[in-house]
Structure 1
Amino acid sequence: MDTELLANLEQRVETLVERYISLKQENNTLREENSRLLNERDAVKAKVDGILRKLEGI
């Protein structure tokens, strides 16, 4: 094989690995954000449920 072809292949593999690492980091960030939003939603739901229980007592 030509050394230029090998260098091109090596560059493409490096780019692919960099993209993989970047996507993996983004995935972790999105998982954390999703978890935070789920917790926030549960807190809001609990507040709404509490308000509705108070209203039922009126």
Structure 2
Amino acid sequence: MSDDLFNELEKRVVSLINVTEELKLENVRLKSENDRLAAEKVGLKSRIDAILKKLEGV
């Protein structure tokens, strides 16, 4: 293989490594957002349940 082919292969490998790192960071961000939304959902469910209990007493 010529040097040009090795250089092209190296560029592609480096590019793939960079994309992988970016995807890992995005995955961490999305997991954090998902956790936040799940906690918000629990809070909203609790509030709705409290309102429904009050309405049952009416």
So what's the TM-score if we normalise by structure 2?
Answer: 0.97
So what's the TM-score if we normalise by structure 1?
Answer: 0.97
Deviations 1:10-50 (A, max 9, x none): 00000000000000110110000000000001101100000
2:2 is equivalent to residue 2 of structure 1: yes
The RMSD of aligned alpha carbons is 0.5
The aligned residue for residue 20 of structure 2 is 20
Deviant stretches of 4+, over 3 Å: none
Unaligned runs of 5+ in 2: none
The aligned residue for residue 46 of structure 1 is 46
Unaligned runs of 5+ in 1: none
Between Structure 1 and Structure 2, how many residues are aligned? 58
Q: Once the two structures are aligned, what percentage of the paired residues are identical?
A: 43
